Structures are given as C-alpha cells and as structure tokens.
Amino acid sequence: MTYKEQITSSNTELSKDPKTRFIGYGLQKGRALGTLKNVPGEQILEMPVAENLMMGVAIGMSLTGLKPVVFIERMDFLMNAMDALVNHLDKINDISKGEYDPKVIIRCIVGNITKPLYTGATHVQDFSTALRAMTNIPVYTALNEDFAKTAYELAVTRNQSCIIVEYKDLM
C-alpha cells in the first residue's frame, strides 16, 4: 500500500464511526488531497479559511461527543490555530479539573519541497518539534506508510487528542 493509500484507508476507517466529523476548507471539492474520497459527504464540515475557528469548532464538537478530525492543508497555517490548540485543547482537562477532556485528531500537511514544485518557505515548514515542546498533545510524524498506519491506529486507540503530521512529497 502506498503512503497516500494508507492515509486514505485510515480516514475511511475513521469515517465508519458515525460520530466522526471531518473539518477543514476545500474538503468538499478537493477531499483533502483525495484522502477523504470515501468519506460520506454528511460527515464533512466545510469551513472558511480560518484555522483558529476550525480548531474551536472541533473542540466544541468533541465536548458534545462527536469525534472531529481537523484537516490543516499546510502545517504553517496551524500557527493561526495556536490559541485554541495551546490554551484550550491542551488545557481544558486541567482547567475544568477533569470535567472535560476533548479528543480531537489534527491532520497537518507539510508542503511539498520537490514535487510537483516548491511552494515557498511559508508552505513547507515542519513544526513537529516545537509542538511537542509547547503542548502535552502527542505529535505523530507519518514519515512513511508504516508510520502513517501506526499514527492513525494510535489516534483511534488512545483516549486523547493528537496531531498527525503528513508529508505532501510522499503522496
């Protein structure tokens, strides 16, 4: 199975749970680089280009029992969601003294450096190390199809939020 096939298969598996929702922009048209092609349309929530809003909506949905998967097309733009990620998602359990414990899966794509073309310095940054330092949220780097499979398995089986870092050059 190729890298992209593994990610597509993993997201198809996630969609089998009717409580799963996929949140992002351009999902209805591009279906997240084709990785959500098998996901029913009613599980996709199309959002404006507003990453902090997407993260806030995902947190709220998780507090109601839904299982949100946020698709951030470029990891660089996850920086726009850092308030919701670092000050809310990562801290809600502590702030609420355990009353709330949202679980959100965040998919971030590190942009392509080699194929089909280099998209520029603001589209290819990998903040995995920085995210590990800033939050208690596990960051799984999907460096190949085996790591991608493991990352999604951990995202499903662990009872906590996580960030899955994918690489467009491998798709």
Question: What pTM value is reported for the model?
Answer: 0.94
Terminal alpha carbon distance of the chain: 12
* Domain architecture of the chain: domains with CATH: 3-170 (3.40.50.970)
Per-residue tens of pLDDT for the chain, all 171 residues = 999 999 999 999 999 999 999 999 999 887 788 999 999 999 999 999 999 999 999 999 999 999 999 999 999 999 999 999 999 999 999 999 999 999 999 999 998 887 677 778 888 999 999 999 999 999 999 999 999 999 999 999 998 999 999 999 898
DSSP-derived secondary structure for 123-158? G----HHHHHHH-SS-EEE--SHHHHHHHHHHHHHS
In 3D, which of 54, 72, 52 has the Cα closest to residue 123? Answer: 72
Question: Is the previous residue joined to 138 through a cis bond, with omega within 30 degrees of 0?
Answer: no
- Which residues touch 79 (CB under 8 Å, ≥6 apart)? 127
